[in-house]
Structure 1
Amino acid sequence: MVVENINEQAAVQEENKKLFQELTKRNEQYMMNLDKALIAANISEEKRDAVYNEMLKSLIKGQKSGQTARQLYGTVTEYTNVLLASPKEKDKGRSEDWKIVLDGGLLMGAMFALITGLSAFIGSGQGSEMGIITMILNFIIGGFVILLISKNVPDKNKDKKISTFRYILISTAGMLGWMFVMTVSMALIPSSINILMSAGVNIAIGIAAFAAKIYFKRKLDIHGGLF
């Protein structure tokens, strides 16, 4: 198998040499600059040979109608970035809704807990009135708000003005709704149930939630959210 691979690569390299001789001076220079860029990026010789073989055939075909390498592939830097992009990242779509809710909930919960806790220290005790029920609601509702917003991110393939307007409208409504529920829960739920937590506890929860967000984002490979 190894011998076959070596023979195949040698055949590709030989074909590339012949194809390279058919290039125009401009395309020839483009390929040499690209080769330097990919070598600097530590792209393996086998992969470079395969990329060049496909490109050379396209370039020679394009030359017949006057097309240049830059017209076909963009600048050397641009195409280098395309080649370096992870295929996995390109193929990734959105994660399942529950993952985005988890990721968004942990982020929003962490932010709210930290802001509440820190404001208590800065404001001499004010801001520490958030209770445990409010905190739990904050994590849950925050997650669903992030899910809602992420699903309405402007789509490049649709009318940009309409997509942007819809995104702003839904984002604003979602955030206002989230803040309203938080405020109402703190005002209406009895403190005997919605047990108040100290500033230190809020800060500790915020730090733990933020650490959990980072962990689960990597562990579950969450993508498609906002952050």
Structure 2
Amino acid sequence: MGQENTNEQVIKKEENETLFQQLTKRNDQYMMSLDKALIAANISEERRVEIYNEMLKNLIEGQKSGQTARQLYGTVTERTNILLSAPKESETGRSEDWKIVLDGGLMMGAMFAFITGISGFIGSGQGSEMGIITMILNFIIGGFAILLISKNVPDKTKPKKGSMLRYILVSSAGMIGWMVLMTASMTFIPSSINILMPAGVNIAIGVAAFAAKMYFKRTLNIRGGLF
């Protein structure tokens, strides 16, 4: 992934050099002034390459009808302020794996704790089939299953042959593996250790886990998960 990003940056940088040569003198001066302003604002070279690649294409297209950079983007100061107020790349990309595991684990744990609790009330009302160790494993394994699936979600902006099939296969394998492990924990872990919990406790855990998921998603700005 890192190598792909590097190659893409190199391609765009070379493309920008070619596009710069097609600018009118006025537009070229505008872009040079903008470059100085963004460098002074400590905008990374990678980010500048992305900005210029989009702007240069628009400028060259605008030149065909006599439009200037100032007409398209305003003054250099105005354009600089707009770019500086835009979300940073670190705020729009994918979050670290551990954050996605946390977010997915809390969601999956909350969902099944709540479902198990409701089933307990609707059924015998005497307890839950999910023991405390199974519950804990559900949070952990569920989180890693979501991480695995989220990493294989097809990129709509860069579709690749077979990406959807890969996503379906990985998703199916992840969910089946997760269910098998959950079933195994309920079957083979002694009930003396894997203590069954009342339906009300399961529901309370589900509600608390969902509240924690929403809290961490907002405070940690978690991006790239499934929920």
TM tier, shorter chain? 0.5 to 0.7
| CA-CA distance at 1:126 after TM superposition | 7.6
Corresponding residue for residue 147 of structure 1: 147
* Letter aligned with residue 172 of structure 1: S
Distance in 2 between residues matched to 1:186 and 1:152, nearest whole Å: 29
Matched, 1:87 2:78: no
Tell me the TM-score normalised to structure 1 length.
0.62
* Letter aligned with residue 87 of structure 2: K
Moved over 3 A (4+): 61-68, 156-161
Give the secondary-structure state (helix, strand or coil) at the position aligned to 2:152: coil
Do 2:134 and 2:194's aligned partners in 1 also have CA atoms closer than 8 Å?
A: yes
* Letter aligned with residue 149 of structure 1: I
Corresponding residue for residue 65 of structure 1: 64
Corresponding residue for residue 122 of structure 2: 122
Do 2:133 and 2:194's aligned partners in 1 also have CA atoms closer than 8 Å?
A: yes
Tell me the TM-score normalised to structure 2 length.
0.62
Matched, 1:100 2:62: no
Give the secondary-structure state (helix, strand or coil) at the position aligned to 1:88: coil
Give the secondary-structure state (helix, strand or coil) at the position aligned to 1:222: coil
Do 2:127 and 2:198's aligned partners in 1 also have CA atoms closer than 8 Å?
A: no
Do 1:105 and 1:138's aligned partners in 2 also have CA atoms closer than 8 Å?
A: yes
Distance in 1 between residues matched to 2:93 and 2:203, nearest whole Å: 34
Distance in 1 between residues matched to 2:220 and 2:63, nearest whole Å: 49
Cα separation, partners in 2 of 1:110 and 1:89, compared to 1, 3 Å: farther
Corresponding residue for residue 15 of structure 2: none
Distance in 1 between residues matched to 2:198 and 2:102, nearest whole Å: 25
* Letter aligned with residue 123 of structure 1: G
* Letter aligned with residue 145 of structure 1: A
Give the secondary-structure state (helix, strand or coil) at the position aligned to 2:213: helix
* Letter aligned with residue 88 of structure 1: P
- Identify which range, 110-119 or 151-160, moves more after superposition: 151-160
Where structure 1 has 5 or more consecutive residues not aligned to the other structure, the ranges are 1-54, 74-82
Distance in 2 between residues matched to 1:155 and 1:179, nearest whole Å: 27
Aligned length: 158
| CA-CA distance at 1:94 after TM superposition | 1.0
The CA RMSD over aligned residues, in Å, is 2.9
Distance in 1 between residues matched to 2:134 and 2:165, nearest whole Å: 31
Distance in 2 between residues matched to 1:197 and 1:67, nearest whole Å: 73
Mark the structure with the bigger radius of gyration.
Answer: 1
Do 1:119 and 1:127's aligned partners in 2 also have CA atoms closer than 8 Å?
A: no
* Fraction of identical pairs, as percent: 74
Distance in 2 between residues matched to 1:206 and 1:134, nearest whole Å: 14
Do 1:141 and 1:178's aligned partners in 2 also have CA atoms closer than 8 Å?
A: yes
Corresponding residue for residue 52 of structure 1: none
The within-5 A match list for 1:68-217 is: 87-88=86-87, 92-125=92-125, 128-156=128-156, 158-217=158-217
| CA-CA distance at 1:127 after TM superposition | 7.1
* Letter aligned with residue 131 of structure 1: G
Cα separation, partners in 2 of 1:169 and 1:127, compared to 1, 3 Å: farther
Corresponding residue for residue 220 of structure 1: 220
Give the secondary-structure state (helix, strand or coil) at the position aligned to 2:87: helix
Where structure 2 has 5 or more consecutive residues not aligned to the other structure, the ranges are 1-54, 73-81
Per-residue displacement from partner, 1:46-94 (whole Å, max 9, x unpaired)?
Answer: xxxxxxxxx9xx67x64663599xxxx9xxxxxxxxx9xx832765211
